[in-house]
Structure 1
């Protein structure tokens, strides 16, 4: 028998019991749909993690003040205790060779006003290395000049969201805006970064030099002279993150005169560790979803095998007749394998369609990142064909081993 003859015979047999064939393929449909959804969400999440890494920096350490002890022994929020200083920034820059960039930071909330337009936003007081550490580019205008970091001038850089709110289609360069009650001159606009890895609008902020922020915007916060809320460190190589973190912790403990065994008054956050944790969580969820999809495929495959065994039992006389007129065991085996693979392939095609639609719906309703591509479809089709081939082999082999004389005696 030719391949076309086998295919035509298999289609005729399945059409004769189309309802049973449809129900048999249900497990494969569910399994393939689950594979599509699982892989699409996994790839989308990984792409989101990559986006977060590019936004946060994979070679970065963030140091913040640890929360102090409040009334009744309750620990206050991290950053509420002023334990870091500009001197710590300079010490890290000079004494930690792996630290390529170091920048102190102050931040707070404010109302920014231009004419009748205003916006509630966040201000950040930064040092020059902050732009390199966070990979911020200037879309319009210029970055701060070296003289601006002395604190005597009042320049400001606008995030894209703030620029649109205040100036619409204009860039606002040279205009005067008020941060709270203090006038600032717009010298530039930051390039847009959009939504961050944690869902925040990265463009909803304004940036001023650190000393200007200390004197003009943060004077009411009651901070000690020279204090900073956070220190960001850009390490020269990702391989040196652990050693740089250890050196920084030792240096700050020495500078802050912390006794051995005593608790640090600062906290070092390794961005790479956060990303690694999130990646591990994503991989675990992908494995769980993969296990569910695998179980569905196994159940579907067992269903195919059971139905094919029933079909062999029902068609013993037909098999004997085919062998009597010249069909060999290999022809019978190929025919039943073709039927099993057709059931699985048709179920796979339906499952692919449901999986693609389901992934898009899950992404929209569940607000999850989804990434569909041709490789996912090819993988799902291969799974469906493999399922039919694996679970259809035993019934096909059983049919091919029947004795034609005994088969013809069956009623």
Structure 2
């Protein structure tokens, strides 16, 4: 009986193709919108987490100043120095390594090719704090670090633009007024979490950068690696106390430095994007409700149009449950058809938007299954009233209907 009922429902839908399509349009739009927004939201979260993870996990970034958006007309807070680095490394439990950084910018030139890039002066601890594998070559020797030799490790973007993507190790190029020997090339990292190309960098010993580029021994950034076995919050608190002592900050005075925990940044951004995706998806889901009302509307019209047909079926022996099932199956079929079309449109939209926005393409089975299940449920909920009305018709009154 169910097979016959299903065939009758499909035949009725195909009899009015345009009307059936327009009936399912609300479901199509609703499912497509919800699935597209939810999937792109998860893709964005995944991309952000990946980019932040590329900065390294269990890392504390320490900078002078009072954080983003703070400041004003007061004196600039002092930078860090080598004694700060040694103090953090030797006096705080749970610290695996401390990588000081001094940065500058210059134009690199090699065989007529030139490229403006960032110079990052640091030590080998940089590669311990945030592992960044080398494609070829080696890191600095202790002698090169101590003497401030003009040696460098270059990112993939610099290698591509200066050496046309070829082997760079063993070559010498000029950056600013310094001739630099390439001793290593880094693996590709891609875009940073907050924009910028992580591969557009030349890494040199920090003493080289301080002597030849910045002209000072100041350190503008320290990357502090934290042992995963230790409580990151406790390590951060100990670090704050040590720096306050070293920078003579007492009483209720505010810190003139800030510490960023990459894990906290990732968690904050993830929760924010998840909340925004949920809100926007909920707004888009309103169109599913509109689609359900449209299905109920058309099914009521269909009951009115087919009153005599219903009367004939009831008169020749059909029971009310069979009539109810026929109209209910028809409503669910319309709703499921709209759900399937919406899912196909959503996948095409996600693929196109992912390509245009450089986000990873994701297929989330849970989201797709949930959206399709909701579309089927809408068919049941909004199709029951028209179906019940058809099943409750009096056969004699239905046969008299014009």
**Structure 1: gaps (5+ residues):** none
Alignment of 1:222-371 (within 5 A): 223=216, 225=217, 227-237=218-228, 240-365=231-356, 367=357, 369=359, 371=361
CA RMSD of aligned residues (A): 2.3
The Cα of 1:230 is off from its aligned counterpart by 0.7
Match in the other structure for 2:15: 16
Match of 2:199 among 180, 199, 203: 203
Tell me the distance in 2 between the aligned counterparts of 1:32 and 1:312.
Answer: 27
Match in the other structure for 1:215: 211
The Cα of 1:364 is off from its aligned counterpart by 4.7
Question: Are the counterparts in 1 of residues 148 and 206 from structure 2 also a CA contact under 8 Å?
Answer: no
Match in the other structure for 2:154: 158
- Equivalent residue of 1:25, what SS? helix
Tell me the distance in 1 between the aligned counterparts of 2:321 and 2:32.
Answer: 33
Question: Are the counterparts in 2 of residues 40 and 370 from structure 1 also a CA contact under 8 Å?
Answer: no
Is the alpha carbon distance of 1:401 and 1:193 closer, same or farther for their aligned partners in structure 2, counting shifts above 3 Å? same
Q: How many residues align?
A: 398
Tell me the distance in 1 between the aligned counterparts of 2:112 and 2:301.
Answer: 79
Is 1:122 aligned to residue 118 of structure 2? yes
- Equivalent residue of 2:191, what SS? coil
Deviations 1:72-124 (A, max 9, x none): 96258xxx643311111111111221222211111110122223222110010
More displaced stretch, 9-18 vs 55-64: 9-18
Match in the other structure for 2:41: 42
Question: Are the counterparts in 2 of residues 153 and 212 from structure 1 also a CA contact under 8 Å?
Answer: yes
- Equivalent residue of 1:228, what SS? coil
Tell me the distance in 1 between the aligned counterparts of 2:358 and 2:205.
Answer: 37
Match in the other structure for 2:394: 403
Tell me the distance in 2 between the aligned counterparts of 1:136 and 1:283.
Answer: 29
Tell me the distance in 1 between the aligned counterparts of 2:300 and 2:198.
Answer: 61
- Equivalent residue of 1:156, what SS? strand
Match in the other structure for 1:82: 78
Tell me the distance in 2 between the aligned counterparts of 1:239 and 1:304.
Answer: 59
Deviations 1:126-174 (A, max 9, x none): 1222112222111111111122221342211111111122222432222
**Structure 2: gaps (5+ residues):** none
Tell me the distance in 1 between the aligned counterparts of 2:230 and 2:374.
Answer: 39
- Equivalent residue of 2:197, what SS? coil
Match in the other structure for 2:170: 174
